[in-house]
Amino acid sequence: IASDGHAFAKFGRVIATHCLDERCSTELLSAVEQTHTISSQLGIVARVKAVTAESKSSSELLVRNAQNLTQAVSRVLAAAEAACVKGLRQPPPDSEEAEVAAFCIEWRKKLSWHRARESLNSDRDELGLRKTRARPEPTLRAMVQERSPHNKNIARHP
């Protein structure tokens, strides 16, 4: 889990480096640093727990750190979505950064397609406002989860 956190931090760092909006880049880098720190802490706690006797407090600490890492990764993905919507610089072709950019571009296309489809929805409520369907917008988190069974971790390849 800790190494996956480091992989998401690397993923976020690539997006932040290529982000066109400086504020989004700064927010993403902050989330990346937090994720990296929590991943390192989790790795240390896991190694200590592996060599020490079983204790309830060490197990609780391990679980708490894993939960914190999950929240930090969610923050990275949310900040990465904002950065992708603002736009990314084109990375060098045939690089790891290009693979990350292609993944983000695929997500952004899905998001645009979803929004276009929703805007064409002619269902109106009693006030004349367009009703939205119950389908949520596509997220980077959902795309990562979709790819998980096929590709253990998309973030390992940035």
Of 136, 135, 127, 131, which is closest to residue 119 (Cα–Cα)?
131
pLDDT in tens, 46-75: 888 887 777 777 788 889 999 999 999 999
- Contact present, 86 and 24 (Cβ < 8 Å): yes
For residue range 113-153, what is the model confidence (pLDDT) as tens digits?
Answer: 887 877 776 676 667 776 666 567 788 888 877 776 444 44
| CA dist., res. 35 & res. 40, Å (int) | 9
Q: Three-class SS of residue 30?
A: helix
- The alpha carbon of residue 154 and the mean position of all alpha carbons in its chain are separated, in whole angstroms, by 10
CA-nearest of 88, 132, 126 to 114 is: 132
Q: Are 80 and 12 contacting, i.e. CB atoms less than 8 angstroms apart?
A: yes
Element (H, E) at 13: helix 2-18
Structure-derived torsion over alpha carbons of residues 56, 62, 66, 67, reported in degrees to the nearest 10: 40
Instruction: Classify domain 1-151 at the CATH class level.
Output: mainly alpha
Read off the DSSP letter of residue 139: -
Spell out the domain ranges in the chain: 1-151
Burial class (CB in 10 A: 0-12, 13-18, 19+), 104: buried
Share of the chain above pLDDT 90, in %: 47
Output the pTM of the full model.
0.76
